[in-house]
């Protein structure tokens, strides 16, 4: 009997161990199943519900979400497609049979096609654009630059040709420009007249003295006239525009208005950065002799050192047919107009000084500078100069900012719609 009782207790203890092990196995299995379900569920949520809120990049702690990124990509695709169609139409207007291989239209069209077909290229362009936009907003905030709702509304109205106070009419306003004169050193060198300017004259003291002369250039001055679109027409056009953008990109009216706000902030930041910038640019007036080989350049240099006239050597040796018969005169030019090696040499030379042979992709140049001046620029060039200031500023700002880009997030989800037109 004692042995039987002992065996029963042993059996019961074994059953309890088995029961506990079975329970542990079942609990572990349930936990594993729940984890798998959770992982799968999170994956589904991440690729659907949570995806728009994921971060593709951050700028100084501020996030750019997948939603913003994808909407902007779609909008960018629409713009590129429209530009492509416009350039094709321009090419047809000029009677060009093969625009893609045309020297003028081809490079632009090919660039647009590449951008539309490459998700990486399009995605990177939009990432850079969104980072630039966020940097602009952050800098504007630091400087106290703001854009009101009324300013956004007014910009939208004018974009649809609705002017509540009448249509602004351009009025011609005199704009002062400055013409240079030549000093005796320049007069001794020059037997030609610099291109793209009026003929300069020497002052009695021999110094270059600018003289002012009024020239007429139109500047916009608002004068009320009849409104081409009324309030109701504007609201209908705006509604139609937003509906189209929402359908094509998913961007709502708030997002659309944010785009306008961003543009205005960028304009105001540009104005703040260039407030003291004057419509003048450092320029040089130069002439050159272009030859194919270094041996020819050395030979031309020897002739000049032996007293041969620059104009004579240019006429006999220079390969630049556009100016060889005009003493190699290139006229006045500012920075960015010439290839880098040529520009660097020209701006470093003193008036009358002739450079050593300068190698560029075109050959070898001998450069003589005839003048250095801060010269007035036209409205288009002045605007380019201001844009360069803003571009350089944002580049420096980007380099000094904490920016993170998450390629693993944005690269797999770059939209490919709207689709590329058939035949592209």
Mean of all residue pLDDT scores within the chain: 84
What SS3 class is residue 242? helix
Domains of the chain, by residue range, sit at 50-178+227-279+378-418, 280-376
Separation in Å, CA 131 to CA 60, 140, 302, 405: 10, 14, 54, 10
* Tokens found for residue 243: 């509906």
Separation in Å, CA 67 to CA 55, 63, 251: 9, 11, 9
Q: What is the pLDDT of residues 362-418, one digit of tens each?
A: 999 999 999 999 999 889 989 999 999 999 999 999 999 999 999 999 999 999 998
d(C-alpha 259, C-alpha 136), whole Å? 12
The fold adopted by the segment(s) 50-178+227-279+378-418 is: Triger factor/SurA peptide-binding fold (1.10.4030)
Among the residue ranges 198-202, 303-307, 406-410, the one predicted with the least confidence is 198-202
pLDDT of 309: 95
What is the arithmetic mean of pLDDT over 122-136?
97
Q: What is the pLDDT of residues 282-292, one digit of tens each?
A: 999 999 999 99
372: left (phi over 0), alpha (psi -120 to 50) or beta: beta
* Tokens found for residue 242: 């937003």
Q: Is the pLDDT of residue 226 over 60?
A: no
Contacts of residue 236, defined as CB under 8 A and 6 or more positions apart, other chains included, come to none
Looking at the domain that runs over 280-376, which CATH code has it been given?
Answer: 3.10.50.40
Pairing of strands 280-291, 329-334: antiparallel
Residues of the chain with pLDDT > 70, as a percent, come to 78
pTM given for the model? 0.68
What SS3 class is residue 284? strand
- From the CB of residue 73, how many other CB atoms can be counted at a distance below 10 Å? 25
d(C-alpha 134, C-alpha 405), whole Å? 13
pLDDT of 197: 37
Cβ(132)–Cβ(424) below 8 Å: no
Pairing of strands 169-179, 211-221: antiparallel
């Amino acid at each position: 009997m004692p042995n039987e009782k002992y065996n029963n207790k042993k059996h019961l203890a074994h059953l309890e161990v088995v029961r506990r092990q079975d329970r542990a196995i079942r609990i572990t299995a349930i936990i594993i199943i729940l984890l798998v379900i959770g992982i799968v569920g999170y994956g589904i949520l991440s690729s659907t519900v949570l995806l728009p809120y994921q971060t593709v990049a951050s700028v100084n702690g501020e996030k750019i979400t997948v939603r913003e990124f994808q909407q902007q990509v779609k909008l960018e695709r629409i713009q590129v497609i429209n530009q492509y169609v416009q350039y094709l139409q321009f090419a047809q207007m000029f009677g060009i049979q093969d625009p893609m291989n045309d020297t003028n239209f081809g490079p632009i069209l090919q660039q647009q096609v590449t951008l539309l077909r490459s998700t990486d290229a399009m995605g990177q362009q939009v990432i850079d654009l969104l980072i630039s936009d966020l940097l602009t907003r952050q800098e504007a905030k630091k400087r106290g630059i703001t854009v009101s709702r009324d300013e956004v509304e007014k910009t939208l109205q004018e974009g649809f040709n609705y002017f509540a106070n009448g249509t602004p009419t351009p009025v011609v306003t005199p704009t002062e420009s400055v013409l240079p004169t030549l000093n005796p050193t320049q007069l001794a060198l020059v037997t030609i007249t610099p291109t793209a300017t009026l003929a300069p004259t020497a002052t009695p003291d021999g110094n270059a003295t600018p003289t002012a002369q009024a020239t007429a250039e139109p500047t916009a001055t608002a004068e009320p006239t009849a409104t081409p679109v009324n309030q109701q027409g504007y609201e209908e056009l705006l509604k139609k525009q937003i509906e189209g953008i929402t359908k094509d990109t998913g961007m709502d009216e708030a997002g659309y208005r944010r785009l306008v706000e961003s543009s205005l902030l960028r304009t105001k930041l540009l104005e703040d950065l260039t407030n003291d910038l004057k419509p003048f640019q450092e320029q040089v007036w130069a002439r050159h002799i272009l030859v194919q080989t270094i041996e020819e350049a050395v030979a031309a240099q020897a002739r000049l050192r032996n007293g041969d006239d620059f104009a004579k050597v240019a006429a006999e040796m220079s390969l630049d047919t556009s100016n060889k018969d005009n003493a190699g005169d290139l006229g006045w030019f500012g920075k960015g107009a010439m290839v880098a090696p040529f520009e660097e040499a020209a701006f470093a030379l003193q008036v009358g000084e002739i450079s050593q042979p300068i190698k560029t992709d075109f050959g070898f140049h001998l450069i003589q500078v005839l003048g250095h001046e801060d010269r007035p620029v036209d409205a288009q060039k002045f605007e380019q100069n201001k844009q360069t200031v803003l571009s350089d500023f944002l580049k420096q700002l980007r380099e000094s900012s904490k920016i993170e880009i998450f390629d693993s997030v944005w690269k797999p989800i770059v939209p490919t719609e709207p689709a590329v037109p058939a035949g592209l």
